[in-house]
Amino acid sequence: MTDLLAARSQMAISLGFHIVFAEIGIAMPLMMVLAEWRGRRTGEREYLELARRWAKGVAILFAVGAVSGTVLSFELGLLWPSFMKFAGPIVGVPFSLEGFAFFTEAIFLGVYLYGWERISPRAHLLAGVVVLSSGAASAVFVLMVNAWMNTPTGVTMSGGRIVAVDPVAGMLSPAAFPQALHMLLAAYASTGLAVAGVHAWMLRRGAARGFHRRALIVALWVGAPAALLQPLSGDISARLVAQTQPVKLAALEGQFHTERGAPLRLGGWPDEQAATTRYALQIPHGLSILAYHRWNAEVQGLTAFPRADWPPVAPVHASFQLMVALGTAMALVALWAAWVGWRRREIADQPWLLRALIVVAPFGFIATEVGWAVTEVGRQPWVVQGLMRTADAVTPMPGLIVPLTVFTLLYVVLGAVVVAVIAGLVRDTDAAPYGADA
């Protein structure tokens, strides 16, 4: 394994680990606040109990998210010092703002988690609102950095060096809004449906019904609307990629040759050597319509670009297909739940819907991982599209396989412990049934 690949793998593992906790950190506070607010409004104790039980899990997940996020902030320098030297003056501004948003989040999460008996109900709920808004703001600032790497603006280059910067223009790069929207919706959809799946599982097992049916409803109120909106946000993102990163679009669609009225390929496996995508189900004109909203729009193929500028086509295509498939399944289940809710039926009484919710529970997090792979691997060989190659950004330190191994082991162990601990907390709701009096 080359040092470059080791560095990329370590960054991918660190981000892939952190992103799950980041999503949970964004969405769970919204769910806790909704549950607490319902509880205070209706006087139903189960909702307050729910907010407290969720808070216990969030305390663990937020801490792991905070430390794994710290790892990333250091890894920018440990693995990509030249990138930071190059991009620091631009990305530093959104990262500084993110620092403040994260600070606010950490302060008020402390107040929220440990302050149940110490402050008034109103102040407690307000602390939760601060946590959920600063969590969302953190995500927006981080996505501004990633968007800048995809569609860099606000830099004037001369001879491979930045000679003038405009950090505000850098923050508001073309990809900033579509990416931030897509990530926020992903966080609410993934977390909401995952939590709904956990409570659906408990309902199927016949555990404390009064507690779990309320939990299911709150989780669906967060997860289902986001899952339904996500395809629209995906369309906005895809059309922007078509305009600004045609190589990435060609890779994620497996489009090797420039073509008018390009088909949409479902499945299939791109063969870079033969420059063709085999075994795909082709929907005529589908890609031209999706990417440009025109029947006969021209879609540039990979062969229109130098071979040295291609990303690895097969993994990008496969990741993209998987993301879309998982997102579609989530949207369909969300639609089903919305239909049941709209007809004023009890969701907890629908065994097949509960089963479907259990099945799609992990889909959001998997879709997030492969979606992140689409945007990051799809940008290769660039770390900043068109401006800096990843190979030029990596640290000169040899032996990067060692830190890669250390952090991989650390995250494998940590991930396993988190799963075991959260599973224990979920089982506790069985052992001490609340809401039995509902």
Q: Which residues in the 398-437 window bind other proteins by CB under 8 A?
A: 398-399, 403, 406-407, 410, 414, 417-418, 420-421, 424-425
- Alpha-carbon Rg for the chain, nearest whole angstrom, is 23
Number of Cβ within 10 Å of residue 31's Cβ equals 26
Q: Which of 60, 172, 325, 340 binds other proteins (CB under 8 A)?
A: 60
Among left, alpha and beta (phi > 0; psi -120 to 50; other), residue 140 is alpha
Cβ burial 152-178 (10 Å sphere, 16+ → b, else e): bbbbeeeeeebeebebeebbbbbbbbb
Closest by CA position to 215, among listed 20, 402, 28: 28
Give the footprint of other proteins on residues 297-316 (CB under 8 A).
none
In the complex, what is the shortest distance from the CB of residue 73 to other proteins, in angstroms, rounded to a whole number? 5
To which H or E segment does residue 49 belong? helix 45-79
Smallest separation (angstroms) from other proteins to the CB of 219: 20
Is the CB of 109 or the CB of 348 nearer to other proteins?
109
The answer to whether the CB of 250 falls within 8 A of the CB of 299 is: yes
Bridge pairing between strands 269-271 and 276-278: antiparallel
Contact partners, residue 23, CB within 8 Å, separation at least 6: 186, 187, 190, 191, 364, 365, 368
CB of 435 vs other proteins, minimal distance in Å: 22
CB-based contact 186:368 (threshold 8 Å):
yes
Q: Which of residues 12, 13, 66, 229 is near other proteins by CB under 8 A?
A: 66
Task: List residues bridging with 278 in a β-sheet.
Answer: 269
Q: Tokens in use for 323? A: 């993301």
Q: Is residue 335 a contact residue for other proteins (CB under 8 A)?
A: no
As measured in angstroms, the least distance from the Cβ of 40 to other proteins is 19
Q: What is the dihedral of CA 18, 20, 23, 29, to 10 degrees?
A: -100
Position 113 contacts other proteins (CB under 8 A): yes
Using CB under 8 A as the binding rule, whether residue 121 contacts other proteins is answered as: no
Judged by CB under 8 A, does residue 344 bind other proteins? Answer: no
- Candidate segments 27-35, 66-74, 236-244, 362-370, binder of other proteins by CB under 8 A: 66-74
Under rule CB under 8 A, residue 85 binds other proteins: yes
Taking a C-beta distance cutoff of 8 angstroms, is the pair 334, 224 a contact?
yes
User: Can you tell me which of 11, 20, 51, 109 binds other proteins, judged by CB under 8 A?
Assistant: 109
Is residue 81 involved in binding other proteins (CB under 8 A)?
Answer: yes
For other proteins, the binding residue among 25, 29, 39, 69 (CB under 8 A) is: 69
Residue 107 binds other proteins, judged by CB under 8 A: yes
Q: Which of 119, 126, 325, 329 binds other proteins (CB under 8 A)?
A: 119
What are residue 384's phi and psi, to 5 degrees? -120, 115
Cβ–Cβ under 8 Å, residues 433 and 206 = no
For other proteins, give the closer residue by CB, 67 or 335.
67
97 binds other proteins (CB under 8 A): yes
Q: Which of residues 350-409 bind other proteins (CB under 8 A)?
A: 395-399, 403, 406-407
The interface mask with other proteins, positions 131-170, x = CB under 8 A, is ---------------------------------xxxxx--
Binds other proteins by CB under 8 A, chosen from 15, 93, 193, 384: 93
The residue among 387 and 421 lying less far from other proteins, judged by its C-beta, is: 421
